[in-house]
């Protein structure tokens, strides 16, 4: 039960002067239940990559397997695949269309041909899962705030009960509070259901504390694919491609450079605090550190 | 998915035709279309074909871009040909059941097809070599005399340039919306006509909303920059005729004259 990408490449306008390689020889295994951050600069190919995972785009070369089956083979049920690999696009405005929120969330399960009752149950469940209060269920989706629209969009996909949930920049355009709320909700959802989550983002800061694994894309290729700490050790290389490690990484690196014996692997503020306290304690015992 | 329409899509390269004044290109396109409907013999079409081929060559735009624009009229073309083929009275050539293909029918159908194809290629050539901004500048200038009759020339030109500008944006947006809905199991292809039409709702609603939002934003941005129509408005790059533009006019009128002479008056 996994998604496997085998030498996947996607070239736009192949054979013309405007040829652009959006993906170059990407090899990945996405096992069940993992929480993955897919990071890359604008135009790095991350959005193209996720559209391959549910068969919206076809690779120009290479194969993609879902549970061992080639998804681009003739006769493969891609409609079914799309309910298993749920993709939520960046802008909720691109998918909301019904007269009220509840009906909109029903759209996905309805397309799966479920019974009316099952459709409604799923829609209700999905809206609860994304933490939307009942009072919004019968409002027009266009009257909601940005964060709420995003929740409805996510619920619209969740209602299909996917095994893999892919979120393309779910925090784009949200304020810091809205961003944290959405991300916390997704983390909680994952804990409760054990669903595989792929979070696409251009910000390390956003994903650092949630994910098990970070895949960094650059110019269509996978640059790093490792657990967050290991990826952030390459913070200098990340900067060169227009990305950045979380700010605490820089602080810890700088503290170390200045002579404080801290570990530099902290990725959240809390971890950094503990690490610094430990280091300060240590240096006090030894009779004062360099900079104090 | 939907990127096949070339209308309003400029092909960036450097050629004499690209540098021509948009007014020349507009007039030339109109004259070219007129010429297509003036000629009615083989010699005339030959002249038109050679002329068009030369212009395409000079423009430096790859030929397949012109063909791309043709895809959208294939259906129209087929209908026009079929109707003309079967419904023109005259000397029968083949009779199938109640339908008769006549000699005149074949002639008219072929002329129709050639005219339509040339027309599309000719006008694609103009839009491919002229930026939408330039094009509307040209139109505004050409239609300026209509101001005397209280025609809001500037406003019309502005509306056209905005419409042209938004075609590729809305196409791209349509593509994104389609993808978002397909990801939710929407089906835009199968089913009968009614089911298909119903299936368009999830595409059209977000598209309309986005179009209105964009229009609103644009209006606001224009107002924020004190846009208030054409009165006393000056241009950063006013259109000025150069030597090449005069030559362009000469070539065009020469072409039209020879079309009329060889394609109409001289019965070849």
Of A82, A87, A93, the CB nearest to B210: A93
Q: Is the pLDDT of residue B236 over 90?
A: no
Q: Which of B184, B188, B202, B213 to mutate to test the interface with A (most CBs of A within 10 A)?
A: B184
The b/e string for A221-257 (b: 16+ C-beta within 10 A; e otherwise) is bbbbbeebbebbbbbeebeeeebbbbebbebbbebee
**Local confidence band at A287 (pLDDT 50, 70, 90 cut-offs):** low
- The alpha-carbon gap from A86 to the nearest alpha carbon of chain B, in Å, equals 7
- On the question of pLDDT at B238 being above 70, the answer is yes
Please name the residues in contact with B200: beta carbons below 8 A apart, sequence gap of 6 or more: B188
Structure tokens at A111: 């397309």
Task: List, edge to edge, every strand of the sheet that includes A213-218.
Answer: A85-88, A164-168, A196-201, A35-40, A213-218, A221-226
Query: Does B217 contact chain A (CB < 8 Å)?
Result: no
Question: At B9, is the pLDDT very low, low, confident or very high (cuts 50, 70, 90)?
Answer: low
Lowest mean pLDDT of A147-161, A266-280, B85-99, B208-222, name the range: B85-99
Residue B200, pLDDT above cutoff 80: yes
Of the candidates A79, A87, A96, which has its C-beta nearest B206's C-beta?
A96
Residue A283, pLDDT score: 67
- Report d(CA A28, CA A63) in Å as an integer: 11
Give residue A284's pLDDT: 66
Q: B103-129 vs B74-87: helix axis angle to the nearest 10?
A: 160
Give me the pLDDT at residue B3, please.
Answer: 47
**Closest residue in A to B173 (Cα–Cα):** A94
- Please report the pLDDT score of residue A162 as a whole number: 93
- The domain spans of chain B are 1-130+240-268, 131-233
Q: What are the φ and ψ backbone dihedral angles of A40, each rounded to 5 degrees?
A: -175, 160
pLDDT of residue A174: 86
State residue B32's pLDDT score: 93
B4 — pLDDT class (breaks 50, 70, 90): very low
What integer is the mean pLDDT of A11-40? 86
List the end-to-end C-alpha distance of chain A, in Å, as a whole number: 54
Mean pLDDT of A62-84: 89
pLDDT at B8: 54
Q: What is the CA radius of gyration of chain B?
A: 23
Give the start-end residues of each E strand in chain A: 2-12, 20-31, 35-40, 61-66, 69-70, 85-88, 164-168, 196-201, 213-218, 221-226
Contacts of A204 (CB under 8 A, 6+ apart): A37, A39, A214, A232, A238, A243, A244, A245, A246
The overall average pLDDT reported for chain B is: 85
Tell me what the mean pLDDT of segment A60-82 comes to.
89
> Predicted confidence band at B224 (pLDDT cuts at 50, 70, 90)?
very high
- Least confidently predicted of A171-175, A224-228, A282-286, B190-194: A282-286
- Looking at every residue in chain A, the average pLDDT score rounds to 88
pLDDT value of residue A26: 92
For range B140-159, the mean pLDDT? 87
Statement: residue A75 has pLDDT above 50 = yes
- Which of A4-8, A42-46, A168-172, B229-233 is the least confident region? B229-233
In A, which residues are within 8 Å of B173 by CB distance?
94
pLDDT tens digits for range B130-141: 887 788 888 888
Determine what percent of chain B is predicted with pLDDT higher than 90: 25
How far, in Å, CA of A100 to CA of B133, rounded?
41
- Min Cα distance B100 → chain A (Å) is 43
Query: Percent of chain B, pLDDT > 70?
Result: 96
Between CA A180 and CA B37 the distance in angstroms is: 66
Q: Which residues in B lie closer than 8 A to residue A86 (C-beta atoms)?
A: 183
Q: Is A141 on the interface with B (CB under 8 A)?
A: no
**What's the confidence (pLDDT) of residue A109?**
93
Q: Say how far residue B86 (Cα) sits from the centre of its chain.
A: 28
Question: What residue ranges do the domains of chain A occupy?
Answer: 2-228, 246-292
Kindly state the tokens that stand for B265: 């008056």
pLDDT, mean of residues A274-279: 86
Q: To which CATH superfamily is domain A2-228 assigned?
A: P-loop containing nucleotide triphosphate hydrolases (3.40.50.300)
Does A93 contact chain B (CB < 8 Å)?
yes
Mean of pLDDT values over B94-98: 74
pLDDT at A292 over 50: no
For A53, nearest residue in chain B (alpha carbons): B183
| Facing residue for A111 by CB, picked from B177, B184, B201 | B184
Tell me how far apart the 2 most distant CA atoms of chain A are, in Å. Answer: 73
The distance of A292 to chain B (nearest Cα, Å) reads 54
Measured between alpha carbons, how far is B51 from B53 in angstroms, rounded to an integer? 5
Question: Between chains, do A56 and B210 touch, taking CB under 8 Å as contact?
Answer: no
């Amino acid at each position: 039960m996994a998604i496997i990408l085998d030498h996947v490449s996607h070239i736009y306008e192949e054979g013309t002067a405007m040829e652009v390689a959006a993906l170059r020889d990407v090899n990945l295994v996405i096992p069940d239940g993992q929480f993955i951050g897919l990071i890359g600069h604008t135009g790095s190919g991350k959005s193209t990559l996720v559209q391959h995972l549910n068969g919206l785009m076809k690779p120009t070369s290479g194969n993609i397997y879902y549970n061992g089956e080639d998804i681009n083979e003739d006769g493969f049920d891609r409609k079914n695949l799309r309910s298993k690999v749920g993709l939520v696009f960046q802008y909720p405005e691109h998918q909301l269309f019904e007269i009220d929120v509840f009906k909109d969330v029903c759209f996905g399960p309805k397309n799966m041909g479920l019974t009316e009752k099952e459709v409604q149950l799923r829609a209700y469940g999905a809206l609860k899962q994304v933490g939307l209060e009942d009072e919004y269920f019968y409002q027009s989706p266009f009257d909601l705030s940005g964060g709420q629209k995003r929740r409805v969009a996510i619920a619209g996909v969740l209602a299909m009960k996917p095994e893999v949930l892919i979120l393309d920049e779910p925090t784009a355009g949200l304020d810091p509070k809205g961003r944290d709320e959405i991300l916390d909700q997704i983390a909680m959802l994952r804990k409760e259901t054990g669903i595989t989550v792929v979070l696409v983002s251009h910000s390390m800061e956003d994903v650092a504390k949630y994910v098990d694994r970070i895949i960094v894309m650059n110019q269509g290729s996978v640059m790093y694919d490792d657990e967050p700490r290991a990826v952030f050790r390459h913070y200098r290389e990340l900067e060169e491609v227009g990305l950045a490690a979380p700010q605490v990484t820089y602080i810890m690196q700088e503290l170390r450079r200045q002579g404080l014996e801290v570990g530099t692997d902290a990725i959240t503020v809390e971890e950094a605090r503990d690490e610094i306290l430990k280091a300060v304690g240590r240096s006090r015992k030894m009779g004062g550190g360099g900079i104090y | 998915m939907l990127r096949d329409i070339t209308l309003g899509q400029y092909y960036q390269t450097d050629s004499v035709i690209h540098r021509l004044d948009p007014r020349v290109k507009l007039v030339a396109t109109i004259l070219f279309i007129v010429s297509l409907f003036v000629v009615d013999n083989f010699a005339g079409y030959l002249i038109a074909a050679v002329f068009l081929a030369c212009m395409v060559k000079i423009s430096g735009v790859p030929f397949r871009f012109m063909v791309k624009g043709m895809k959208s009229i294939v259906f129209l073309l087929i209908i026009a040909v079929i109707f003309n083929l079967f419904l023109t009275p005259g000397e029968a050539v083949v009779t199938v059941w109640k339908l008769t293909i006549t000699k005149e029918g074949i002639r008219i159908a072929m002329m129709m097809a050639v005219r339509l194809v040339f027309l599309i290629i000719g006008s694609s050539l103009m839009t491919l070599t002229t930026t939408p901004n330039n094009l509307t500048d040209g139109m505004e200038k050409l239609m300026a005399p209509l101001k005397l009759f209280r025609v809001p020339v500037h406003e019309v030109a502005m509306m056209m340039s905005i419409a042209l500008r938004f075609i590729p944006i809305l196409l791209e947006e349509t593509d994104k919306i389609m993808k978002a809905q397909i990801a939710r199991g929407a089906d835009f292809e199968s089913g009968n006509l009614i089911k298909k039409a119903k299936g368009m709702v999830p595409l059209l609603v977000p598209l309309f909303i986005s179009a209105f939002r964009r229009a609103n934003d644009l209006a606001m941005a224009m107002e924020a920059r004190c846009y208030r129509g054409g009165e006393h408005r000056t241009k950063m790059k006013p259109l000025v005729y150069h030597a090449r533009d005069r030559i362009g006019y000469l070539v065009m009128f020469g072409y039209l004259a020879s079309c009329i002479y060889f394609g109409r008056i001289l019965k070849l």
